[in-house]
Every structure is written in C-alpha cells, then in structure tokens.
Structure 1
Amino acid sequence: MSLALGALVTVALLIGNGFFVATEFALVAARRPRLEQTAARGGRAAGAAIAGIDELSLTLAGAQLGITMCSLGLGLVSEPVFAATLTPPIHALGLPEGAAHAAAFVLALAFVTFLHMVVGEMAPKSWAITYPERSATVLALPFRAFVTAARPVLALLNGSTNLMLRAIGVQPAWSQEVARTPEQLRSIAEESRRLGLIEDTELTLLTTALDAPRAPLSGLVVPVAEIVSVSASATPQEIIDTAARTGRLRMMLRGSGRRAARMVHVRDAYLARARGLDTTARALSHPVPAIPVGTPVGEAVATLKAHHSHLALAVASDGGIAGMITLDDLLTTLVTVR
C-alpha cells in the first residue's frame, strides 16, 4: 500500500475511532431531560440519542466494537505502511536492514499510538464530556444506523458478556436500573472540579445538595414557645383571627398531646364560616406525625408526604416535644445552598 493511501486510511480510522469514543461518552454523560425537550420539539437526532440511552448496554457494546475495529485497523494497516516508508531512509543512514526495519517499526508504532490516543481518544472524549447533549445529538443518527446494522453481532457479544457475569454471580443491570449513591455522586463532582469542568461554587452547590437529605432536623425545629396554636374548641372566626394576627396559615391544637397531635388550616375555617357551619377547630383539624429530632431531612420529608401533612411535631431524645417542623423549611433546606 502506498504512503498516500495509507495516510488516507489512517485518517479515516482515526475519525472512526473518535466517532465511537465520543458517542460512548456523550450518551453516558448526556442529561436525558434536555434531550427529551429537544425531541418533543421534533428533533429526530435527540430521539435517536434517547433510544441509545434506553438500551445503553447494547449501545456501549456497539461503541466498543467500533473502537476495537478501528484500533485493529490502525495496527494492521497504518503501522506497516509507516514502517515500510521509514525503513529505507533509516537504512540509508548506515544501519543494517534488520536494525533499520526494527527502528522504523518502533517509530511507526509510537507515531500511530500518539495519533490514536490524542486524535482518536482524548480529544473526542473531552469534547463529548464538555458538550454531552450537543455531541449526543450530532452523533446519534449515524451511530444508531451502525447499531442497527450490527445488532445481531452486538446481541451475541452482549449475551455472551451477560452469561459470563452471571457465571461469577454478577447480575447485569440496564441503565435505568442503576442508581448512584450520594458518595458516588460526590466523587464524580470532586473529580469534575479537579478536571476544571465545574467551578468551586458549583462544587459547593452539588455537595450541599447531596449532604442536605442526610442532615438532622435539629437546626430546623421551631421552638415550642413559637408554635402558633388554638384551642380545640375554637370557632372558625377565632381561627381566622389567630391567622390574621400571627400570619400563619396552619395552627396546632393546644392540649392534643404528642400521640394525638393535630393541626387546623385557616382555609378550612374560611370554608366553614362561608357555609355557616357551627363547628370547632377539632372538627376541622387533621392529625400530624411525630418525628424524632435526629431524623435526617430526606427521611422527614418522606414521612410528611406519606402522612399528607405540612407539619410535624419534633420529638426530643427523652420523648418530650422539642417543637415543630414544617415541610416548607425542610424543602428549603434541600434546594438552598447555605
């Protein structure tokens, strides 16, 4: 093969290798909600990217097959062509033919390896990680065509891999079944900052958001002295007056105790007054849960949602009432950087 043809084949193989590398990283790093928004506006490429993410195991197998084919091509075609081209001038320098061929082979191998790593691996990987949604949509359609054409081979490779994993006790998981732990996400965020992909403020935002669900309730408890309450026998008008005076929409019932804590919403009082009902705060009230002050914020939010309540009593370690917590405060903690 001539040097010109070998150079063209080398360029084509490097482009192909970069294509598969960039697609692999793009589909892993791309944020699905953004792709779905683009697809909803009629973007076919975004739809193809979503399809690739939906069968990520097969998609990664396709990328690895493409990378392997291009790498083998560089070894079979590019290195011999460059070695054959370099051998005569090195031999002309006075080296024996065998030594000249060995030196040419080493130089060709180093040159092709350098191109493979920089042009075929590192550059496309960095581009895909920096612009994951853009690169995913640019590459998705041709890559889906490749996966469709090679699907029988990919299914065989993927099936063989899954059988091997099951043989050693590992259950293969699809992308939608994989969940990241807070520790894994924190490690990803710190590595992204080290690589310069995010700023210090963004790292702080991410780590704070990851830590917030595990933070205890102790700093969010409204003291008992600040709890707005009404008597169980209060009329709708008395509830409305208390809400107007304190600015609170929800009020606890006095004397209900920890095990039977209840709250009333001023909205229900307005409705009762509009209907002319002769009722009391207890009849309009709803039960609220009791949550230990050591409970993590994320778990407390789940408890309030399960009870369909916006308030809960905070129970101290000795079993006494430490105060009250509100869903608004808990959610603010989860989404606010302090």
Structure 2
Amino acid sequence: MTEVLLLVVAIVLSLACGAFVAAEFSLTTVERGELERAAERGERGAAGALRAVRSLTFQLSGAQLGITVTNLVVGMLAQSSVAKLIRGPVEAVGLSPSVASSVALVIGTALSTVFLMVVGELVPKNWAISSPLAVAKVVGTPQRCFSSAFRPFIRHLNNTANRIVRGFGLEPIEELASARSPQELVALAWHSAKEGALEQDTAELFVRTLSLAGLTAENVMTPRVRVMALDERATAEDVANATRASGLSRFPVYRDSLDTVVGIAHIKDVLAVPAAGRPRRTVAELL
C-alpha cells in the first residue's frame, strides 16, 4: 500500500514538473504583443502571464528550480516504489531474491525515467511550443506564485549566475526584446511572399524600405560641388551633349544660380524633339 501511495505522489510530481516545463517554454516563445492585447481584453490569466514575462529571468530560474527538485524527488520515489511493486512478478519467473531485486530496480528506473521524460517534459514542451499564448495564460500565475514563495533562494541563485555571466563581459537582461530585427522582418516578408500571403511586389517594396535604414544622406545625395546642372536658357542640344559627356539622364535646371532650381530636364524629353530643332528649343520649354 505504501508503494502505491509513493507511486501516486511520484505521478503528481511528474505532472508538476510538466507545469514547470510548460511555463519555461511558453513564457519564452509567446508573442509579447499578442499577450499584451490579451491582457487589455481582460482574458483570464493573461495579466499574470504578462507580469511573468516582464520578469522572465527570475521566472525561468524558478521553473528550473521546480524542474530540478521534482526530477530528484520523482527519481527517489518512483524507482524504489515501482521496483518493489514488480519484484514479486520478477521472482515468479524463477530468479533468486537478490537478482530479482536488481532486475526490478533496473526496470523500475527505466519505467520511471521514460514516464517522467514523456509526461513531465516532452508533452508539456510540445504543448507550450504549439500554443504558447494559451499555455502561458494557464501556467503564468502558478509559476509566479511558486517563484515568489522561493524568492530569496531564487534571487541568490540568479545573482550568482549573473556574476558569472558578467565575468564573461556580458550583461544579463530580465526580459526578452519583443521587437523584430530588420533581418527577421526581411526573412518574414520573403517567406510570406513565397507562401502567397503577400504580393511579390509588396514584399520587394517592403524589403527595399527596410534597406533604407542602412543608408545615409551621403549615399543617396550628390554633393553640391559635383552636381551637373543646366541653366534654364540652355538648349535641348545642350542636354543631349551633357548626357553624352556624363552618361546621366537627368539634370537639375536652375535660374540664375543653383539656389533656384526650377525643374528637372530628362533626356527622354529631348529625344522627343527633332534633331534639327534641338538647338532652338530651350530647356525651360521642356519642363
């Protein structure tokens, strides 16, 4: 009877381990903006989960503490209780009591390890990754309560870990950044276009827009002293000659000085004028 009770306790602790694992994965994978909107709508558990995300490092330390403790206790309880429960059937196959005890212990260890790995780790991990928001709303508040109950011990562990991290020249942070990097946004745009969720032209425009962040005024503007401009009294023939000399197709047109730009002369407008008439057509007439 005692072995059965210990086994029940081990199963309950395995489920508790699963809750800690679910909290660890859901709080790190949930979209911060989505969680904030859920909290604003007053969805149950969202506010508690959001507070947990805002103290993520502390909550993850609490989850790790819970996982470690439950694993150790389950190992002690389940292995011995399962071994005692199956020792009788093992002896029934003709093994000596000493050999049967060893075999039963090995089988008990294997069964308890597999059960803990599947029920206490893999299932909650996959659940949290597939539905991070829903899981975070369920486990966020219980995780905060557990971490608060063991706050002094967790703080001590956290501070020790932070000192080690700083020793490597890194600065620990309390919560993950919720913003996407430009590289992630570019990858998301191309993936959306590939899946048909975004038009190809729209994706290309979006990517080109993001690339502007790496440009400076020097990259996109020509210094005044290097600008090739034409007086408004210049002729269409002058525009053609300037294009042949520079390879450019557009030229600012100014009145009196470069401080008074009145338009842009384009070579395509010159080509529309018959060659014989270009010396008589002024640039101002082409604007």
Fold equivalence (TM over 0.5): yes
How far apart in 2 are the matches of 1:148 and 1:84? 37
Q: How does 1:181-330 map to 2 (within 5 A)?
A: 201=195, 213=207, 255=253
Alignment pair present for 1:118 and 2:118: yes
Per-residue displacement from partner, 1:25-73 (whole Å, max 9, x unpaired)? 1111111112211211234521111111111100100111111111011
RMSD over equivalenced CA pairs, Å? 4.1
Corresponding position of 1:108: 108
Alignment pair present for 1:68 and 2:68: yes
Corresponding position of 1:168: 168
* Contact in 1 for aligned 2:33/2:178 (Cα 8 Å): no
Q: CA deviation at 1:203?
A: 10
SS at match of 1:172: coil
Q: CA deviation at 1:12?
A: 0.5
Q: TM-score w.r.t. structure 1 length?
A: 0.55
Corresponding position of 1:152: 152
Seen in structure 2, the aligned counterparts of structure 1 residues 49 and 216 have a Cα distance that, compared at 3 Å, is closer
Considering Cα pairs closer than 8 Å and 6+ residues apart, tell me whether 1 or 2 has the greater RCO: 2
- Note the residue ranges of structure 1 that are not aligned, 5 or more in a row: 218-232, 234-251, 263-281, 286-312, 314-338
Per-residue displacement from partner, 1:301-333 (whole Å, max 9, x unpaired)? xxxxxxxxxxxx9xxxxxxxxxxxxxxxxxxxx
Corresponding position of 1:332: none
* Contact in 2 for aligned 1:186/1:210 (Cα 8 Å): no
- Note the residue ranges of structure 2 that are not aligned, 5 or more in a row: 213-231, 233-249, 265-287
Corresponding position of 1:128: 128
Q: CA deviation at 1:261?
A: 11
* Contact in 1 for aligned 2:127/2:135 (Cα 8 Å): yes
Corresponding position of 2:274: none
* Contact in 1 for aligned 2:32/2:178 (Cα 8 Å): no
SS at match of 1:48: helix
Instruction: Give the structure with higher Rg (CA).
Output: 2
How far apart in 2 are the matches of 1:213 and 1:123? 38
Q: CA deviation at 1:171?
A: 2.6
* Contact in 1 for aligned 2:13/2:70 (Cα 8 Å): yes
Decide which structure has greater helix share: 2
2:19 corresponds to which letter in structure 1? F
Corresponding position of 2:37: 37
How far apart in 1 are the matches of 2:32 and 2:107? 44
1:139 corresponds to which letter in structure 2? V
1:132 corresponds to which letter in structure 2? P
Seen in structure 2, the aligned counterparts of structure 1 residues 211 and 151 have a Cα distance that, compared at 3 Å, is farther
Q: CA deviation at 1:255?
A: 2.1
Q: TM-score w.r.t. structure 2 length?
A: 0.64
2:195 corresponds to which letter in structure 1? T
1:62 corresponds to which letter in structure 2? G
2:134 corresponds to which letter in structure 1? R
Corresponding position of 1:57: 57
2:119 corresponds to which letter in structure 1? V
Runs of 4+ in 1 over 3 A off after TM superposition: 176-188, 202-205, 208-217, 259-262
Percent identical pairs in the alignment equals 34
* Contact in 2 for aligned 1:25/1:129 (Cα 8 Å): yes
Seen in structure 2, the aligned counterparts of structure 1 residues 202 and 186 have a Cα distance that, compared at 3 Å, is farther
Seen in structure 2, the aligned counterparts of structure 1 residues 41 and 261 have a Cα distance that, compared at 3 Å, is farther
